[in-house]
A and B are shown apart, each in its own frame.
Chain A
Amino acid sequence: GAVVSQHPSWVICKSGTSVKIECRSLDFQATTMFWYRQFPKQSLMLMATSNEGSKATYEQGVEKDKFLINHASLTLSTLTVTSAHPEDSSFYICSARVDNEQFFGPGTRLTVL
């Protein structure tokens, strides 16, 4: 199956700083990628849909100015958590769609101190 990678795997940052997470499709091109957030013991929550060459579509309740998404190429989407706070600590997962299947990255654990 298609492979999606994320970088970094985990990151610890101070409150008020910004953190960028990269999502790459390694062996295919992805015009659409998705960003999810998952809190402990909870399900994945879709944050936004990232479209190559255009603005991302955010789910209701997700602040677009806080979670900046850039999908500048067919193999890379980035999520920047701006002015991070402890409540932003979570597991962030990206995915890319191929036909009716969705392939997920390994996730990025963000801890904001």
Chain B
Amino acid sequence: LAKTTQPISMDSYEGQEVNITCSHNNIATNDYITWYQQFPSQGPRFIIQGYKTKVTNEVASLFIPADRKSSTLSLPRVSLSDTAVYYCLVVVNGQNFVFGPGTRLSVLP
């Protein structure tokens, strides 16, 4: 299984862009990269998923370089409500959703 590495925590201020990078050096050809957000005492919520290059939706962008050994979640203009834990997962053939330790993002006023 592809193991992921993320920063344990990050601080930001309201209105700033936040970029969280995840390393997944042994990602395989068929693996997808997925990011989840989790608030305390809630289940994880899907943010974005990608395979290569760039993916953008209404809440975030995901940048994946050509070698796919890392990925960067970009949150534009964060607000206080974006304070949460963000998990990067490598999904192997639609199975094996293994969570790493995640990144605890704190957005300050």
Task: Say yes or no: A46-B98 contact (C-beta < 8 A), given A100-B91, A107-B41.
Answer: yes
Q: Which residue of B lies closest to A40 (CB)?
A: B40
A-B pairs with beta carbons under 8 A, tally: 52
Most buried by B among A36, A46, A102, A109: A102
The interface residues of chain A, by DSSP majority, are classed as: strand
Chain A residues at the B interface, C-beta cutoff of 8 Å: 1, 4, 6, 34, 36, 42-46, 49, 91, 93, 95, 97, 99-107, 109
B77 sits at the interface (CB 8 A): no
Which 10 A-B residue pairs are closest in the complex by CB-CB distance? A104-B43, A44-B99, A43-B99, A104-B44, A107-B43, A100-B94, A93-B43, A102-B97, A43-B101, A106-B43
Give B residues with C-beta under 8 Å from A: 32, 34, 36, 41-46, 49, 87, 91, 94-95, 97-102
Q: Smallest distance from the beta carbon of B95 to chain A beta carbons, Å?
A: 8
Distance (whole angstroms) from the CB of B13 to the closest CB of chain A: 24
The verdict on A99 contacting B94 (CB below 8 Å), with A104-B43, A105-B43 known, is yes
Choose from B42, B45, B97 the contact partner of A34 (Cβ within 8 Å).
B97
A97-B94 contact given A43-B101, A43-B102, CB 8 Å threshold: yes
Q: Is the CB of A101 within 8 A of B100?
A: no
Q: Select the residue from A1, A101, A105, A106 with max chain B CB neighbours within 10 A.
A: A101
Chain A positions within 8 Å of B95 at CB level: 49, 97
Q: How far is the CB of B81 from chain A (nearest CB, A)?
A: 17
Chain A residue, CB-CB nearest to B102:
A43
A95 to B91, CA, bound (A): 14
